[in-house]
Structure 1
Amino acid sequence: MDSSDSQRRKPHRGIYLLPNLLTTGAMFAGFYAIVAALAGRPQDAAMSVFVAGLLDGLDGRVARLTNTQSEFGVQYDSLSDMVSFGVAPALVLYVWSLSSLQRLGPLWGKVGFAAAFIYAACAALRLARFNTQVGVIDKRYFQGLASPAAAGLAMSFVWMMSANGFAGDDELVQSLAPGIAIAAGLLMVSRIRYFSFKAWPLSDRVPFVVIPLVVLIFVALYIDTPLVLFVIAALYVVSGPLFTLWGLRRRRGQRDAPPRQESPP
C-alpha cells in the first residue's frame, strides 16, 4: 500500500471548530443562567436559556451545511444540552419558585425539590434515548418533547411572570410552577410525537403567506416578548398530544374500514 494512501486514510485527531464553538456558546449561556438565578435575576436567567436554544439550533445546521458532523460533536452537543436545557431550567425554577414551597410545610418543600429533580432527570433520560436512536428515528419527528422546547416552556413561564410583577413565592406562581416542571419532564420521556422542523422547509421556496406570518410574529415579540414566547411554547407542547391522537384515530379508522372490493372486469 502506498504511504500517501495510508496518510490520507489516517483519521484526524482534531475537532471541527465552528459547530463546537457554537455548542460551547450554548453551554456558556446555560451556565450563566444558573449563575443569574442564584444571584436573584430570574429574567436574565430565562433569557440566557433562550440564547442557548438559538445557539443549539445553529450548531447542528452549521455542521450539516459545512459537512463537519462528527461523533464528538454529537456527544458534546448532548452534554451541552444537559447543562443548558436540563440542569439550568431545573435550578432556575427551584431557586426562583419551587424552593419557596418550604414555607408551606415540609411536605410542600419536598414537592418543590421533587418537581425540579423530575425535570432534570427526565431531560437526561430524553437525551440518552435520543443518542441511542439517532441513526434509526424519523428525523421529521421527535419522540417525546425535545429538551430545548421543554426548557422554552419553563423559562418563558419564569420570564413572563417575572416581567408582569409576579415573584416566585406568589400563590399563583407556586400553584403553577410544580405542574409545569413535572409536565415538561414527563413529556420529554413520553412516546408522544412532535414535529422536529429539521426537514422544513422542504425546498428553497415557501408559500407567500409565510412571510406576513413571520412579520406578525416579530411584531408580537416586540410588543410582549415573554408572553408571546410562552404562547408559542405552550402551543407547541399541546400540538404533540393532539397530533398523536389524530394519528392514532386515523390508523384506527384505516384498520376498521371494510376492504375495498374490486369491480368485475
Structure 2
Amino acid sequence: MGRRSAETSRAATATRAEVLYTGSEPGLSRTIPAPGVPLDTTAFDQPVLDEPAPASIPLLPGERTMARRVRFGLVNACTLSSLGLGLLAIFVAMAGKPQIAAVCLVACVAFDGLDGALARKLGVASPFGAQMDSLADMCSFGLAAPVVVYASLTQEAVPQPAAALACALVAGCAAIRLARFNVSPKDGRFFSGVPTTMAAAVLALAVLIDLPLPGMAVLAGVALLAFAMVSSFPYAKLARVVKLPPWLWLLPVVGALMQPRMTFVLVVATYLASGPILWMRAKRA
C-alpha cells in the first residue's frame, strides 16, 4: 500500500513536470519532459493538423451550369487557336515563307481580340482565362512575331547577328510588358506602353506588305517598337481611337488607296509619337 502511494506520487510529479511546446510550424504541438524524464522521440514524428487542407479553386467562378461551361470552353478555344496559329507561324517562317507566317500572325491578333470580347459578352471572364491569354500572347506575340521578322530580315541584306539581336529584344520586351500588365492597375483609357498585340500586328503587316525600306532602317524600327512596349508613355486604347473625328479617318483611307506602304509607315509613326506627346501634356497639366 505504501509502495503504491509512492509510485502514484512520483507519476504525478513527472506529469506536472511536463511542459507543452508549440513549434514554429502551425499545427504542430509537442510535449517536452522535464530534465531527468526519458524523451519520447516518436511524438515528433506525429504532427497534429489543426487546419483542414485548402479547397481547390474552380477555373470558372460563379454558377457551374452546362451552358456557362460551354461558353467558357468556347472562349478558351479562341485562346488556344491563337496559340496554335502562333506555333504555325513559327513553323512556316522556319520553312522560309515569312509572308505566309505573317498572315498567321494577323489571324492570331484577330483571335486574341475575339476571346476577350467573348469572355466579357458571355459573362465567363475569369482569372484563369486572363493568365491563359497572357501565356498565349507570349507565345504568339513574344516569340512567333520575332521569329517571323527574323525570317524576313535574313532574306534581305541584313547581318544575321544584328537581326537576331533586334528580334531577341522584341521577345524580352514583350515578356516584360505582359508581366507588368498582369500586376499593374488597369486604366480604361490608356495603355502604359504599346501593347504586345499591336506591336505584333505592326510587325506582321510590315512583313506582309514588304516595306521598301533599307534593312538597317527596318532594324531600327523593330528596336524602337520593342522599347515602346516597355515604356511608360500612355497610348490610347482602340475604344478611344475609333471616337476620333470622321475626317481624321479619311486621311489614312485615302492614303491607303494611293500609297498603302507609305501610309502604313506614317500611321505607325504617328501612333508611336502620340505616347510621348500625351505624356508631355500630362506633365504640363
Distance 2:118 2:255 in 1: 28
Distance 1:63 1:21 in 2: 11
2:225 matched residue in structure 1: 184
Superposed counterparts of 1:21-32, under 5 Å: 21-32=77-88
Shift of 1:219: 7.6
Q: Which of 93, 109, 116 is the matching residue for 2:149? A: 93
Distance 2:258 2:75 in 1: 33
Report the CA distance shift for 1:139/1:83 in structure 2 as closer, same or farther (over 3 A).
same
Report the CA distance shift for 1:111/1:242 in structure 2 as closer, same or farther (over 3 A).
same
**Contact kept in structure 2, 1:99 and 1:113, CA below 8 Å:** no
1:131 matched residue in structure 2: 182
Distance 1:20 1:226 in 2: 35
Q: Which of 98, 110, 116 is the matching residue for 1:42? A: 98
Report the CA distance shift for 1:160/1:60 in structure 2 as closer, same or farther (over 3 A).
same
For residues 2-42 of structure 1, what are the alpha-carbon distances to aligned partners after superposition, in whole Å with 9 as ceiling and x for unaligned?
xxxxxxx9985968112212112222222222222222222
Q: Which of 125, 129, 152 is the matching residue for 1:69? A: 125
Distance 2:270 2:156 in 1: 28
Shift of 1:67: 0.9
Corresponding residue SS for 1:85: helix
Report the CA distance shift for 1:198/1:27 in structure 2 as closer, same or farther (over 3 A).
farther
Corresponding residue SS for 2:123: coil
Distance 2:274 2:141 in 1: 20
Report the CA distance shift for 1:226/1:82 in structure 2 as closer, same or farther (over 3 A).
farther
Percent identity over the alignment is 30
1:238 and 2:279 are equivalent in the alignment: no
Number of residues of Structure 1 aligned to a counterpart in Structure 2: 221
Q: How large is the Cα RMSD of the aligned pairs? A: 3.1
Between structure 1 and structure 2, the one with the greater Rg is 2
1:154 and 2:195 are equivalent in the alignment: no
1:194 matched residue in structure 2: 235
**Contact kept in structure 1, 2:81 and 2:111, CA below 8 Å:** yes
TM-score by length of 1: 0.71
More RCO (CA 8 Å, sep 6+): 1
Distance 1:226 1:45 in 2: 19
4+ residue runs over 4 A deviation? 9-15, 98-102, 198-201, 212-231
**Contact kept in structure 1, 2:252 and 2:267, CA below 8 Å:** no
Corresponding residue SS for 1:233: helix
**Contact kept in structure 2, 1:99 and 1:109, CA below 8 Å:** no
Distance 1:81 1:213 in 2: 31
TM-score by length of 2: 0.66
Report the CA distance shift for 1:79/1:230 in structure 2 as closer, same or farther (over 3 A).
farther
**Contact kept in structure 1, 2:101 and 2:148, CA below 8 Å:** yes
Distance 2:258 2:101 in 1: 21
Shift of 1:225: 6.2
Corresponding residue SS for 1:142: strand
For residues 124-173 of structure 1, what are the alpha-carbon distances to aligned partners after superposition, in whole Å with 9 as ceiling and x for unaligned?
1100100111xx231211111100111122222222226xxx6xxxxx43
Shift of 1:236: 2.0
